[in-house]
Structure 1
């Protein structure tokens, strides 16, 4: 009996160990980022953060200007666009200027074809990160598979730097992941190293598995230990 309980307990613990580790790791990384960085929007309306919807803004004493270059192309229409008769939005190349100087290569984005949200919603956002400014821009279109998605982050401080983040290599840049999620350019929320905490919670996951299975496994091992101890006595 004792051996069976111990075996079942160990199997439950081992079977639950990997998702428990992944969830714990995500929480630890998130806690570190939260403590180290204060992230805020630069655009507010009636006291609430709003997606960037202006082509010129001043942040931390630096002028940021967005210049649109028409490509003559139109973004694909969604199912809802077709149902509601909404015209296709323009595809433009976006030039980003800081204090009058272009700071990155111009990349294409799909302008919003809706009145709600912002003109650059889900494509571009400007954030304050502690004393710095970060411009986050998505580089892949709406139809790109998650594994292929890429972003660039332009940091504005005493000097201007640019870094690239991809979904597959995001583990190398946890702050970049946090900024992408906060900016709304991720389209779908993503985790720092795993998307395990981004899943829609159900009774089975994560309650029954891995939380209950882990606790039950530990309990069975404890019971088996006390049965053995009592037998020895």
Structure 2
């Protein structure tokens, strides 16, 4: 009977501890990472909110423009019943063409940059180590024209591994750099830019997306942290009992 109880004590403790450890470790790493990123940078999304930000934006002495050429008016409704058009979106800085998104969905009933929510984001990035600010135009280069079928399914959604992005970076001196990355291959800062710009398909983190979900009593309180603690306590009890039995046998 004692052997069975010890076996259950060890088995349950090991199961709870080992299943909880990977996720709880990643969540703690994500918390520390977020604190470091917040200490190093301040990212502001200037393309959302109210009143809507105009598609022509001034950063220092530079003019950033997004020009829209509608190709199909009132093309469809997206899965959230928003009226959509199909348009070519041309990005310009100081009148010079920089990039283009062809045949992209546009929210008809919105104004300014809100029309391109999820496709284009204007961001400012302040590097707190040198007090310098960059202006970033973040583009989703993978086109998604999501529609809802009669049975409720969403079509034309692109898998995560195929999502591509481009960031055009304008510094205070007018220098422009470009970097491209994918959703599944991004660094820490690119992750922050995607999150701030609302261009990711869902809330994301760098080490894990778990901290971005809406917290409940079950997650992340009961799992993984309470289960981790309970598993650890059960394992400690198991080894204390076994050690006590060894001491009794040698006494």
TM range (shorter): 0.7 to 0.9
Structure 1 residue aligned with 2:211: 197
Structure 2 residue aligned with 1:42: 46
Pick aligned residue for 2:222 from 204, 208, 214: 208
Instruction: Please show how residues 16-35 of structure 1 align to structure 2 within 5 Å.
Output: 16-35=20-39
Structure 2 residue aligned with 1:145: 158
Q: What CA distance in whole angstroms lies between the structure 1 residues aligned with 2:24 and 2:79?
A: 39
Q: What CA distance in whole angstroms lies between the structure 1 residues aligned with 2:70 and 2:78?
A: 21
The Cα shift of 1:201 comes to 3.5
Q: SS at 1:103's partner residue?
A: strand
TM-score of the two chains, using structure 1 as the length reference: 0.80
Q: Which moved more, 1:66-75 or 1:212-221?
A: 66-75
Matched, 1:60 2:60: yes
The Cα shift of 1:30 comes to 2.0
* Cα pair 2:104 2:145 within 8 Å, conserved: no
* Cα pair 2:140 2:165 within 8 Å, conserved: yes
* Cα pair 1:9 1:220 within 8 Å, conserved: yes
Flag structure 1 segments of 5+ consecutive residues without an equivalent.
none
Pick aligned residue for 1:184 from 173, 189, 198: 198
Q: What CA distance in whole angstroms lies between the structure 2 residues aligned with 1:51 and 1:165?
A: 31
* Cα pair 1:43 1:50 within 8 Å, conserved: no
Root-mean-square deviation over aligned CA pairs: 2.8
Identify if the C-alpha distance between structure 1 residues 40 and 112 changes in structure 2 by more than 3 Å, giving closer, same or farther: same
Highest CA radius of gyration, 1 or 2? 2
The Cα shift of 1:132 comes to 0.5
Structure 2 residue aligned with 1:133: 135
Q: What CA distance in whole angstroms lies between the structure 2 residues aligned with 1:168 and 1:151?
A: 11
Identify if the C-alpha distance between structure 1 residues 57 and 23 changes in structure 2 by more than 3 Å, giving closer, same or farther: same
Flag structure 2 segments of 5+ consecutive residues without an equivalent.
127-132, 147-156
Pick aligned residue for 2:241 from 220, 224, 227: 227
- The count of aligned residue pairs is 222
* Cα pair 1:63 1:100 within 8 Å, conserved: yes
Bigger strand share: 2
Deviation per CA, 1:12-64: give whole Å up to 9, x if none. Answer: 211212212232232233222211111113368xxxx5486312111133211
TM-score of the two chains, using structure 2 as the length reference: 0.75
